[in-house]
Amino acid sequence: MEKRDYYEVLGVARDASAAEIKRAYRKLARTYHPDVNKEADADQKFKELSEAYEVLSDDNQRARYDQFGHQDPSQGGGGFGGAEGFGDIFDMFFGGGRRQDPNAPRKGQDLQYVEEIDFMEAFAGVEKVITIPVEEDCGTCHGSGAKPGTHPETCKRCGGSGHINVEQNTMFGRVVNQTTCSTCHGRGQIVKEPCETCRGAGRVRKNKDVRVKIPAGIDNGQQIRLAGKGEAGVNGGPFGDLYVVVRVREHELFERVDDHIVMDMPLTFTQATLGDEIEVPTVHGKVSLKIPAGTQTGSRFRLRGKGMPNVRSGHHGDQYVNVVIITPKNLTDRQKELLREFNEISDEKGVEEQHEGVFSRIKTFFTG
């Protein structure tokens, strides 16, 4: 099979700097290293990456590669990339020399769950029961993966370590590279008679009900951590954690801004002109609000302490009421007559003086 271009393998341009080549290798190596990626072709991809990096990271080798490609005559006809498995390069960068014992206890995976609640539930707080799919130790084999009455056997090839040492001759000399044991696939044990319930996996997937208390004042996007409610640990390790992300549905009247609430309040022309006392809805219930005579559209009134509680301190924000004056429609003839009469006897000069700046700018616009 023909080798791919080394620059293509690393995903860099042919004029890439040494730093760019190094960054590209580090990023891809994290993805395809056999200790991280268990896909069938991950090992081969990692070898290809390491081979490309070995050549392009060395100025002399890179210069020869740019001139001759893979068929470098100075390599005795073999070209570049004669050695396989450059795990030692990964170890130098990422400290991979220490391999974790495959049979050591490991914490279970953390889980995330999104729970949607309505606006008033966020205000008051609520308790929910959520159902999450989790992996737990098989109840039949108690996590061993072996049929009841039998036991897993230590892998003879790797001695239970889950990896083997492979000696290789490279341009740096003779090196020892650790690779995942292909017999036990890194587990360190072999199950000859698998459990019929979990088919040798040692774990089963099931749904679990979890009760979560959502505190008053929680905001959209905030999350709650439930320690020990995630996946079961491996080899007797502790459970992972569950993170519940809260989504708050929009309210038909209220809009939340931090711990404050903003709402639009419609007023009639008469209410705004003469003043009135109205009832305003809040998350705490109805509140009386005095509207002074001559209130303009866009005016804002503040209701102290009528906002949302802060999820940490419990202190309530405020509610802001924005005035929107509603223009009447479908007037009767009598109403139209009264409005015309009102307009005729209105002191237009007084109105202009009250809004002198606006009228002045309008006149300037038309007259230039």
- The sign of the dihedral angle between the CA atoms of 63, 69, 75, 81 is positive
Distance separating alpha carbons of residues 244 and 214, to the nearest angstrom: 9
Distance separating alpha carbons of residues 29 and 44, to the nearest angstrom: 12
> How distant, in Å, are the alpha carbons of 26, 55, 165, 251, 307 from that of 93?
8, 16, 19, 52, 53
User: Does the annotation flag 184 for ligand binding?
Assistant: yes
Residues 6+ apart with CB under 8 A from 182: none
User: Does the annotation flag 141 for ligand binding?
Assistant: yes
User: Does the annotation flag 23 for ligand binding?
Assistant: no
User: Does the annotation flag 245 for ligand binding?
Assistant: no
Beta bridge partners, 320, equal: 262, 302
User: Does the annotation flag 223 for ligand binding?
Assistant: no
Distance separating alpha carbons of residues 174 and 19, to the nearest angstrom: 27
User: Does the annotation flag 169 for ligand binding?
Assistant: no
- Helix H segments across 78-126? 87-94, 119-124
SS3 content of the chain, % helix, strand, coil (to 5): 25, 30, 45
Binding residues for Zn(2+): 138, 141, 155, 158, 181, 184, 195, 198
Binding residues: 138, 141, 155, 158, 181, 184, 195, 198
